[in-house]
Amino acid sequence: MADEVILLDFWPSPFGMRARIALAEKGIEYEYKEENLSDKSPLLLKMNPVKKQIPVLIHNGKPVCESLIIVRYIDEVWKCISPLLPSDSYQRAHAMFWADYVDKKIYSLARQVWLSSVEEHEAANDELMGCFKQLEGELGDKAYFGNDTFGIVDVALIPFYSWFYMFEQCGNMSIEAECPKLVAWGKRCMEKESVSKTLPDQHKFYDLLMDLKKKILAK
């Protein structure tokens, strides 16, 4: 019997983009279901009753929640194509360290740069740029974080490449000046169809983020 794969998602979500990129890397056909997060579907509430968040991958009726867990699950189930984690245990542990670093640091700081008031801005900008410099150091002269293959750390971080223009506009920073290798890495990843068909244009995404910011701050 063919696999039934469904993805509950929300198109601007960087977490959902991770799942979409992993599915595309593996060439997995799936049904995409867009969620209205202001009016969550009964399916989402049933499939992720604890966090009630997207993305949720539903594989033959069984839910997998949390984007990095979804990426690892996809890599283990469809292991024959485009591996996203190294087979070597130590290299896997190293990859998961950096994927976890991205997960814990980037989104929360990105939200602060995006939504914070002028006073809080500078601290968030500085801390975010510090994280990018850490990541630039980890990337070094490698083509991808997974050495010369696009892997889970790349999947974890690349969705935030769509935010770079916003960071530069709101944070009055030049990521290219401070982290040229990271920007070159983003452009390299965008040459992959799995990434370019998933990530929105940076300028359009900036306009969306600014519109959303007005709505959020108006509440």
Ligand X SMILES: N[C@@H](CCC(=O)N[C@@H](CSO)C(=O)NCC(=O)O)C(=O)O
- DSSP letters, 60-88, are TTEEEESHHHHHHHHHHHTTTSS-SS-SS
The site string for ligand X over 41-80 (x = CB under 6 A, - otherwise) reads -----------xxxx----------xx-------------
Shortest-Cβ-distance residue relative to ligand X: 53
Could you say which of 37, 123, 184, 210 contacts ligand X (CB under 6 A)? 37
> Cα dist. 207→21, 34, 109, 180, 200 in Å?
23, 21, 19, 25, 11
Taking CB under 6 A as the criterion, the residue among 5, 15, 78, 145 binding ligand X is: 15
CB of 38 to ligand X, least distance (A): 9
Site size toward ligand X, by CB under 6 A? 10
Rounded to the nearest whole angstrom, what is the least distance from the CB of residue 82 to ligand X in the complex?
Answer: 21
* Closest CB 62 distance from ligand X, rounded Å: 17
Q: Would you state the structure tokens that stand for residue 28, as one six-digit string? A: 């997995």
- Shortest reach from residue 186's CB to ligand X, in Å: 20
Strand order, beta sheet including 5-9: 31-34, 5-9, 56-59, 62-65
Q: Is 194 in the site for ligand X (CB under 6 A)?
A: no
Amino acid at 99: A
Residue 1: CB atoms within 10 A of its CB come to 4
Binder to ligand X among 13, 125, 198, 202 (CB under 6 A)? 13
Contact (Cβ atoms closer than 8 angstroms) between residue 71 and residue 19: yes
Specify the residue, 106 or 189, whose C-beta has the smaller distance to ligand X.
106
Is residue 84 within 8 A of residue 155, CB to CB? The reply is yes
Residues of this chain that interact with ligand X (CB under 6 A) are: 10, 13, 15, 37, 52-55, 66-67
